[in-house]
Structure 1
Amino acid sequence: MLNSPKDIFTLRQTMERQDFECYHYYDPIPPVIDFHEHEFFEVFFFLSGDVSYVIEGRTYQLRPGDILLTDNRDIHKPDIHSDKPYERFVIWIQPDFLTRTKELGSDLTACFTDASAKKYKLIRPESGVLTHLKGICEKMLRSRDGSEFGSSTLSYIYLIEFLVYLNRAYFATPDAIRKDVTENEKINEVVAYINDNLSSDLTLDRLADVCFISKSHLAHQFKTYTGLTLYQFIIKKRVTVARNMIRAGSPVMDACMRCGFNDYSNFLKAFKREFGRNPKEFQPGK
């Protein structure tokens, strides 16, 4: 185990700050975590345990030191396979805050943008960079909890340093590690179609037709690879994107219609079931 402060894990998936948060979790008994999504970007830095990670239909077989990137549209969850202690760093970053780091001269959003475009989220740093990234996380956590003058400023500086080396590690990661990803080309195609056509007819019949796959095979394979039924995935994706649109300033009804909900009452029920809040509570300034 590393020497940085250990945080008590909770199922909270909302940020308390407007910039970034960093945590070090060590669970002797691994928690049960369901599929979820969040408004911010996440860096998941795996340290130990027996874990694979499902993101949008791809399952990543994790090794200690692996890093996963998720954005504010990704539906994901860890699959924990044994009672081995589960340790990880987790960094949450608000999208607006991450975008503002471009003012420093380098596009520190690049790894997230590229990973989202390629739909491939795994980083496996070489040993020297891995050690350095761990060290930065330790310093970030100590400054987070420090009371000395400038501690919060140091925490910000360490985050910037971490993001620089994270981008370097991302773009240096070899394609060979794709062997540790379980995926299905046809299901990837279906997921991509859903993401690109949320306002369209996304019935089983329609998806089977446009993706040239039988309905029964699609239904079975989709659940196998994504961990969710087709209906569950589509609803979760639609309300997630609607939330992001509302947060960015779109009118609630506009987000509802553009994400494929033709009935506001159904949208409201699905939204509140997913987030426990009314859509209007996500409007800017609320």
Structure 2
Amino acid sequence: MYKEKFNPSQIMTEKYFEFHHTYNEMPPTVEFHQHPFYEIFFFLSGNVNYIIEGKNYNLRPGDVLLTSSSDIHRPDIRPGRPYERIVIWLADDFFGHLLEFYGEDLTACFTDSAIQDYRLIRPDSQNILHLKQLCAKISEAKRSRELGSYALASAYLTEFLVHISRAYYDAPDSVKYDVTENEKVNQILLYINENLTEDLSLEHLAARHYTSKYYLSRQFKQFTGLSLYQYIMKKRLIVSRNMLRSGSTVMDACFQCGFGDYSNFLKAFKREFGKTPSAYSKA
């Protein structure tokens, strides 16, 4: 299977899906990020602890992680073993075509994993082998110039998604033992995501959740990898971006996501996404 160099940009340039098989002898540095599409992360080798929305997943080869357009995440990659993974990015339109043609909503596992706040799939050895075989076929078809190659890649990818969905709903409860989390931080993350327009200051959150602000600040950074301010800012920007993608006006995206100052919103949005909200909504 063809392996490529790691690209830290996290930007999707193809219309429907992208397939990336990457390998690093030395651990790359990957910052916390999010993106306006679905991602399947298929872990093949390495010493990796993956952080998604306050949960730390201790990965084993063959593990699969699902993330959606609202998830802040980052792999913590330690030296000692080569870091190899397959990452598949999927646009809304790809799932829309599948739903229209087959009547199957293959985003269901992404939606449910976000609701359950648990994004790890651990397929059995037979399924892992089958998923690797499908990835090899996707990779070969994507790189081929023969007639119908893109259609073949899409067909193999659809089969891959079906097996991922089945593995998600068949996953045993035992895999949850490889997740490190903090219940107090989980409660605060839930509150933040449900109340982005409210007062989310450290003082207010600490008082509301009956804990000291110093303890909360330390625990929040430990389990999410971000300061409270950084997390809230990223979440507000993500929601505003998703609103713009759905057709909302720039002003609505600003004030309905908790930004009290329009000029600060413009600066923060451009810093995070590389373009102004108005330019993004026209893209």
* TM-score (norm: length of structure 2): 0.97
Deviations 1:192-220 (A, max 9, x none): 11111111111112211222222111111
The question of whether the paired residues in 2 share the 8 Å contact of 1:141 and 1:155 is answered with: yes
State which of 1, 25, 41 in structure 1 corresponds to 2:38: 41
Deviations 1:41-90 (A, max 9, x none): 10000000011100010000000000000000000000011142110000
1:225-240 alignment, distance < 5 Å = 225-240=223-238
1:251 corresponds to which residue? 249
1:141 corresponds to which residue? 139
Q: Which amino acid aligns with 1:244?
A: N
For the aligned residue pairs, the C-alpha RMSD in angstroms reads 1.0
Shift of 1:100: 3.4
Higher mean C-alpha displacement, 235-244 vs 91-100: 91-100
- Distance, in Å, in 2 between the alignment partners of 1:101 and 1:282 is 26
Deviations 1:220-259 (A, max 9, x none): 1000100110000000111111111111110011000011
1:62 corresponds to which residue? 59
> Residue 99 and residue 185 in structure 1: after superposition, are their counterparts in 2 closer, same or farther (change >3 A)?
farther
Whether 1:96 aligns to 2:88 is no
The question of whether the paired residues in 1 share the 8 Å contact of 2:39 and 2:89 is answered with: yes
The question of whether the paired residues in 2 share the 8 Å contact of 1:61 and 1:181 is answered with: yes
- Distance, in Å, in 2 between the alignment partners of 1:100 and 1:260 is 34
Q: Which amino acid aligns with 1:73?
A: S
- Distance, in Å, in 2 between the alignment partners of 1:121 and 1:212 is 29
The question of whether the paired residues in 1 share the 8 Å contact of 2:26 and 2:79 is answered with: no
The question of whether the paired residues in 2 share the 8 Å contact of 1:52 and 1:62 is answered with: yes
Q: Which amino acid aligns with 2:116?
A: K
- Distance, in Å, in 2 between the alignment partners of 1:133 and 1:15 is 23
The question of whether the paired residues in 2 share the 8 Å contact of 1:60 and 1:180 is answered with: yes
Q: Which amino acid aligns with 2:225?
A: G
Other structure's SS at 1:152 match: helix
Q: Which amino acid aligns with 2:170?
A: A
Deviations 1:146-168 (A, max 9, x none): 01111000011011101100000
1:128 corresponds to which residue? 126
- Distance, in Å, in 2 between the alignment partners of 1:119 and 1:100 is 27
Q: Which amino acid aligns with 1:21?
A: E
- Distance, in Å, in 2 between the alignment partners of 1:115 and 1:100 is 22
Unaligned runs of 5+ in 1: none
The question of whether the paired residues in 1 share the 8 Å contact of 2:56 and 2:223 is answered with: yes
1:163 corresponds to which residue? 161
Identity of aligned residues (%): 53
Deviations 1:123-178 (A, max 9, x none): 00011111111111110011000011110000110111011000000011111111
- Distance, in Å, in 2 between the alignment partners of 1:95 and 1:190 is 29
Q: Which amino acid aligns with 2:160?
A: F
Q: Which amino acid aligns with 1:256?
A: C
Q: Which amino acid aligns with 2:87?
A: V
The question of whether the paired residues in 1 share the 8 Å contact of 2:3 and 2:22 is answered with: yes
Shift of 1:272: 1.3
Other structure's SS at 1:80 match: strand
State which of 241, 254, 278 in structure 2 corresponds to 1:280: 278
The question of whether the paired residues in 2 share the 8 Å contact of 1:99 and 1:109 is answered with: no
- Distance, in Å, in 2 between the alignment partners of 1:233 and 1:94 is 24
1:10 corresponds to which residue? 7
* TM-score (norm: length of structure 1): 0.96
1:205 corresponds to which residue? 203
- Distance, in Å, in 2 between the alignment partners of 1:274 and 1:211 is 30
- Structure 1 stretches of 4+ moved >4 Å: none
Shift of 1:269: 1.3
